[in-house]
Structure 1
Amino acid sequence: MPAPQPQTLVQRALGGHAAIGLLAGALLYIVSLTGAVVVIHDRWQRWEQPTIAEVTALTPSAAQAGVAAAIAQDAGKPRTTHLYLRMPNADLPRAVATTDHGGWYVDGQGRVAGREAHSWTEMVIGLHEYLHLPATWGMLLVGALGVALAALLITGVLAHPRILRDAFWLRTRHDPQIARADWHNRLGVWTLPFALAVTLTGAFIGLSGVGYSVLAKAYTGGNLEKIYAPIYGPEGMPDANAAPLANIATALATLHARVPAAMPTYVIVHDPGTRGQHIQILAALPRRLVYGEDYRFDAAGRWQGPVGLTNGPWGQQFAASTYNLHFGNFGGLPVEIAYLLLGLALCVITSTGTTLWLGKRRRRGMGSDRLEACWAVVIWGTPLALVWTAWLRGVAGPDAFLVAAFWGLLAAGLAVAVARPLWIVPEQLRTVLLACLIATGLGHAIILRPAAPAILALDAVMVLGALLSLVVLRRFQAGEGREAGAGSRPSS
């Protein structure tokens, strides 16, 4: 048997090019998948801590008591600079008071009801927003990925002149590669308005921080507060001398009297317990896409007026609207379900795009078992790692090292894919994932016994969705088996 010939420089360069392309595709998939999960992050927070007592509303006096109770939890710690009170709503019927040192649920009387400890949900949010990198660099990378994905969507449509005419033509019973291409193309058309809205707003959110920093260095000597002020309002003048806690109750009552339609979502006290403190209330308004209007009050709760997010210059309103448009925080549960399904469709588009590319390489004699195994690990290993870290959170508690566990699990899977690519079988990974989803939904419902119907609904969706997926995927496994029998490796 002749000895294998060493690779040429061109072959090594092509291999490196393919690996970089696979890395970009993997990051796009991870951001898309976690984005679909994050759409209902408030519901995941309830799911993660199902035993916390829930409240539908918080009176002004209870809100005042709640922030005072949160401040009391920080006894012996450095003074907090910002105090947040999240008001209960339909998605998260829990009041949460947060200082620089931690967060606490408060009940309807403003008493501490438990520690806010939804570390798994926060881990997923961090993965989506900045890939667990340092925040500035991570958001820059995610913003750039948003631009790249928007460009891929547009050029993908332009590259297929018949794509609109064939929008409802699916050859699911043909060769798996053809079926996969049809799903990729059709979903790309059906979800194009959503995908462009999400990717472009995501790019705006991710890259805006860099833009603000550049403007600050160019025009304000690096002072970011002056750059943010025209959009989000100015910060007050600090005065560190001690003073009684700001009067949140009066501020809430004043807001209700002046703007009855406003629904407070956050109450923020800047520099609480000092003479320089002031109150900021973010409140949602009906039939507005902006995340809310920002109303300002002094320490005594006296009205100082709105910032103007709902009626200011169009650029200010646009900046305040990108968050809700990107995360689907408008329209309630129907919009959340639509965003979730469309987000999963975007996952299919990103995953099948790279799978098709790997298939073309194999047909041209450039296939790589290692690259294909790595891609299978990304597609099925990423959600598996999310599920396993949820179990780790449940077993080891909220202080478990979830970020390290997630990346460690994914890295271990990729290491196996590189060292023993034939051990990675996509069908088996899919089955393990779906089995874990079923076990997670059933285990959560049986062990923790959540009382809220919304939490039980998540468990039911996990179980029923996984069972339905098992049935549907059986249709494709036979075709992939025929493809493998013809000499190709089963594709992910």
Structure 2
Amino acid sequence: MKKETKQNALNAHTWMGVFLSVGLYLVCLSGTLAVFYQEFERWEQPEITEMETVSSVAVERAMSQFMSAHPEETDHYYVVFPTSGIPRLVVENDHIAYFADKDGNLITQENVLFTKMLVDLHLYLNLPASWGMILVSILGAIICGLVITGIVAHKRITKDAFKLRRKGSGQQYQTDLHNRFGLWATPFHLIIGVTGAYFGMAGVLLTVVAQLYYDGDRDAVSAQIFTPDPVLEQAIALPNVEKAVAQMETLAPDSQPLFLTVHEANTSDQFIEIFAKVPGKLIYSENYRFDTQGNYLGTAGYADGSWGKQAVYAMYRLHFGDFAGVPSKTLYFVLGMMLTALCISGMEIWLAKKANPPMACRLWAAMVWGSIGALALTAVVDMLTSLPLVGVFWVLLLACIVSAVTLPAMIKPRWQQFSGLCVFTLVVVYTLYHGKGSLNLAALQLNVPLMVYGLWAMWRGQTLVKRHFYHGIQVKAEGV
């Protein structure tokens, strides 16, 4: 490849990364954490009764109690099964959700505001969903562009595949690590970029195709990919959820029911749809449909649909790594951390080439480590107050940025210490707030790694602070 082509690719790679560094970092960081969004939901309310299975009778009782307690107008009712990845029974409508015990009795209201804020940060950057998702999907496309330009710009991609220069300047080591992370995880980065771009651009593409080929009929285009709702003529009645759930044992004995939806609630078009995970396939689910009386109507046809239909319906699992339980989530978390580290190291390499301007370096450190601290403190605020979490997070992050400007002593290691202290504080407050509940598996599976991170970040930050001041004294001595 021509030298000029490589240089152009490097320039494109650099400027895309620099100008969009903040957005890319926040999306990658929140997305890496959101891989475990189900675990975060359990962590927020660790005292809730958990179970592995639930009977159709219990589901019916939970739905009946919920509908009686919440007669407000809604378009849907939902039941989340314990086999969904969250070992709890949840019933809800479009406005509110409640947990139920193994017998179907309602327990308490679901409250997962922090998890919702975290997921919204990843999906929309906490912006209005209509154009926030488009912005995030553009960042997904940018990730693909960064991967491609990074590969094209690499001068010796084969020879340097395992090169990691630990000696010499720290900049060499950081550059090698940036290149290795980018190269080794290229397939993952492309999957994340393509699927991320799909979520936001699907609506735009749907509109374009509808205008070009279907006279603007979006529903006609959607029907080619997503199975239309059944057309029914029936009396308005309460949905027979028990009968529908009971039939799943014979209709799909090897599938795990994820959740149930009652569509078009309290109308003649009402029908029941049960989403069930299909063994051996990446699609999100096969959907089993029933009328109001619980009579089986058929499936939506995703499991044996065309390859294009299955590919679209697999986007969610491919993006979040939700296809092989904890092992695939853990793998996605590690790879997500590598992608997040690429965002950090790429910006720091650029700053090093600009002679590390102090203000820019402090601002970037405040963004990187301050956002982690802000997320931790937002979770603390969520436990202790009822303040809107989106506003809390962004105010805390803005405070970090302002501190970077006004406090010259807040160098990068100090911000790393700050993030560790905030996470450590979160675990302590969580333990005091939930008491015995903090000893449940739902709490420990996150609190243990959070505590490890908090202690490591504080230790690592202090080590770097000492090294920084020792280096400064040494430079002054050599100057003398």
Instruction: Tell me the TM-score normalized by structure 2.
Output: 0.89
Report how far residue 407 of structure 1 moved. 1.1
1:161, distance to aligned residue in structure 2 (A): 3.0
Code of the aligned partner of 1:380: W
Distance 1:19 1:70, change over 3 A: farther
Matched residue type, 2:444:
L
Greater shift in the superposed pair: 424-433 or 154-163: 154-163
Aligned equivalent of 1:81: 75
1:251 to 221, 235, 244: 244
Comparing 326-335 with 244-253, greater Cα deviation is found at 244-253
Structure 1 residue identity aligned to 2:371: T
User: Could you list the runs of 5+ residues in structure 2 that have no partner in the other structure?
Assistant: 1-13, 476-480
1:69 paired residue number: 65
In the other structure, the counterpart of 1:202 is 196
Query: 1:154: how far off?
Result: 2.1
With over 3 angstroms needed to count, the CA separation of the structure-2 counterparts of 1:313 and 1:486, relative to structure 1, is farther
RMSD: 2.6
2:350 corresponding residue in structure 1: 357
- Quick check: 1:254–1:302 contact (8 Å CA) kept in 2? no
SS class of match (1:337): helix
Q: Counterpart amino acid of 1:353?
A: G
Supply the distance in 2 between the matched residues of 1:483 and 1:429 (Cα, whole angstroms). 19
Selected match of 1:115 from 100, 106, 109: 109
Do the aligned partners of residues 224 and 49 (structure 1) sit closer, same or farther apart at CA in structure 2, a change above 3 Å counting? Answer: farther
Gaps of 5+ in 1: 1-17, 488-492
Q: Find 2:447's aligned residue among 456, 459, 467.
A: 459
The aligned amino acid for 2:209 is L
Residue 475 and residue 287 in structure 1: after superposition, are their counterparts in 2 closer, same or farther (change >3 A)?
farther
For residue 162 of structure 2, the aligned residue among 143, 164, 168 is 168
Q: Which sits farther off after the overlay, 158-167 or 50-59?
A: 158-167
1:382 maps to a residue whose letter is S
Rounded Cα–Cα distance in structure 2 between residues aligned with 1:408 and 1:211: 35
Give per-residue Cα distances to partners, 1:78-132, cap 9 Å, x unaligned: x110111111127311111121221111211222111111000000000000111
1:385 corresponds to: 374
Q: Does 1:436 align with 2:422?
A: yes
Q: Structure 1 residues 312, 68: closer, same or farther in 2, change over 3 A?
A: same
- Secondary structure, in 3 states, of the residue corresponding to 2:260? strand
1:1-29 superposed Cα distances (whole Å, 9 cap, x missing partner): xxxxxxxxxxxxxxxxx999655100000
- Range moving further from structure 2, 447-456 or 290-299: 447-456
Change (3 A) 1:63 1:232: farther
Once residues 186 and 469 of structure 1 are traced to their aligned partners in structure 2, the CA distance between those partners, rounded to angstroms, is 24
- State the SS of the aligned residue for 1:104: strand
Match of 1:408 in 2: 395
> Percent of pairs identical after alignment?
32
Matches within 5 A, 1:22-421: 22=18, 24-75=20-71, 77=72, 79-89=73-83, 91-219=85-213, 223-237=217-231, 243-362=236-355, 368-396=357-385, 399-418=386-405, 420=406
Q: Tell me the secondary structure at the aligned position of residue 456 of structure 1.
A: helix
d(CA) in 1 for partners of 2:376, 2:294: 45
Larger mean Cα displacement after TM superposition, 474-483 or 382-391: 474-483
Distance 1:225 1:113, change over 3 A: farther
Structure 2 CA distance, aligned partners of 1:437 and 1:344? 17
**Deviation of the 1:473 alpha carbon:** 5.7
Q: What letter matches 2:21 in structure 1?
A: G
Is the 1:150–1:199 Cα contact (8 Å) retained in structure 2? yes
Name 2:7's counterpart in structure 1: none
User: In the alignment, what sits opposite 1:490?
Assistant: none
**In the alignment, is the contact (CA less than 8 A) between 2:420 and 2:456 conserved in 1?**
no
Contact map agreement 1:43 1:92 (CA 8 A) in 2: yes
CA distance in 2, matches of 1:225, 1:312: 19
For residues 333 and 291 of structure 2, the distance between their equivalents in structure 1, rounded to whole angstroms, comes to 40
Question: Which whole-Å CA distance do the structure 1 matches of 2:473 and 2:174 have between them?
Answer: 18
